[in-house]
Amino acid sequence: YQKMGSLVFYTSENLHFRYGKLERRGNYLRVFVANLVFPLEPSRLINLDEILETTSHNKCFTLSFVIENHGVIEFHMGISDHTILHLKKILSGEISLKSRYCSEIFFHEDVGDDYLYNLFVYEENNHDRLYVLPYKKYQNCHNIGPINSPPEFWREITTPDFKEKVVDIYCTFSISKYFFKKF
């Protein structure tokens, strides 16, 4: 991926400015979660809403969590207004997930190996947790997307004994060739 320089994110809802970064490879764009730490001279100021609006033609995209000493977990997400709202909170750093232990972020309900699991968020519950739950069992929360990792993996990383942290979070979108002319 080609680094595109440092930039500062902000959203229409939250005008707190945060440092973020973008990377590009061919027709793919990675948007990394924003931090509170600013570079000395960011190369540009960019509204995260504009990135999401410009890439909203995508039918799906991936949200990835990099876990220290373990690798990357990917969630395939479908576009909806509700999903974009939660994605914006994650990428802008409003939902604090980076540099935390996996067991503090993810909650896994283990109902056996024969179920399809998805990533869910609850509106009324703590926004700093993500839920890995059986797909058909939960209809009163928002479904972010399916999970490709086996249940054994989730059993392992959601136990309090698992002492690895999420070191980075990014979202990968496919983009048109006209995307960068706008920015």
Q: Residues 29, 19, 89, CA angle at the centre, nearest 5°?
A: 70
Token pair for 69: 């000493």
Which bin fits 48, alpha (ψ -120 to 50), beta or left (φ > 0)? Answer: alpha
Mean pLDDT, rounded, for 61-86: 86
The mean of the pLDDT values for the chain is: 77
Q: How far apart are CA 7 and CA 4, in angstroms?
A: 9
Mean pLDDT, rounded, for 1-22: 61
**What's the pLDDT at 104?**
92
pLDDT in tens, 111-145: 776 667 888 887 665 567 888 888 776 667 788 88
**What's the pLDDT at 5?**
54
Mean pLDDT, rounded, for 57-63: 74
Q: Is the pLDDT of residue 171 over 80?
A: yes
Token pair for 44: 């540009």
**What's the pLDDT at 43?**
57
Q: Strand runs (DSSP E) across 130-180, as ranges?
A: 130-134, 142-146, 166-174
Q: Is the pLDDT of residue 162 over 90?
A: yes
Residue for token digits 């990835």?
64
Amino acid identity, position 70: H
Whether this model's pTM surpasses 0.85: no
| Paired sense of beta strands 28-32 and 18-25, if any | antiparallel
Four-point Cα dihedral 82, 84, 85, 91, nearest 10: 150
CA-closest candidate to residue 164, choices 64, 65, 66, 68: 68
